[in-house]
Every structure is written in C-alpha cells, then in structure tokens.
Amino acid sequence: MKKQYPHLNTDRLHYRYKCVCCGAYVKHGTRQCYRCDSWFSDDDVTQMLKHYRNNSKQNWQHIIYFVVFVAIAVDLFFAMSYLV
C-alpha cells in the first residue's frame, strides 16, 4: 500500500496532530503514523490531543486563509460588476 503524505492530499487541513515519535502531522482518528509506522496507544492519543489543545492558538491559520480567500473572491466579484 502506498503511503499518503499530508502535503499531497487535498484535505491536508485535517492533519493537525503530531506523531509522538517522529513529529509528523497525522490525521484525526489515525492510529498509525504514515512516516514511522508506529502505532498510537490510548496514552499517545491523549498526549497528542493535549498538545494540540495547548497549541490551539497556533492552529488558526486555516481559518484565516479561508476568510482571506473569500474576501478576495467577493472583492473581485464586485470589481468585475462595476466594470460591466
């Protein structure tokens, strides 16, 4: 089976948790790391969730990117409507 890497997937924003062994971003609900093939125990999952919640202030960028994209799209829409 071919390993899937977060930077090649369209749903890469779901990769928010870091593997406790190698630090790779893993998808929520995943029980095995794609990079180091380590399995996550319940303690590992608890630790990953705790780390994510402690650093949640750094995980806001995906919301900002979406808001900026929508603002630019709306701005372009209104700019095009004034040209017509």
Give dist(CA 79, CA 84) in Å, integer. 9
- Which tens digits make up the pLDDT trace of 68-82? 999 999 999 999 888
Give dist(CA 26, CA 4) in Å, integer. 10
The sign of the CA dihedral 41, 44, 50, 52 is: negative
Q: What is the pTM of this model?
A: 0.45
What are the residues facing 17 on neighbouring strands? 26
Structure tokens at 27: 């998808």
- Which tens digits make up the pLDDT trace of 8-57? 554 555 557 788 888 888 877 788 888 898 888 888 888 888 887 777 66
pLDDT (0 to 100) of residue 55:
72
Q: Half-sphere exposure of 63 toward its Cβ, with a 13 Å CA cutoff?
A: 5
Q: What is the mean pLDDT of residues 60-69?
A: 82
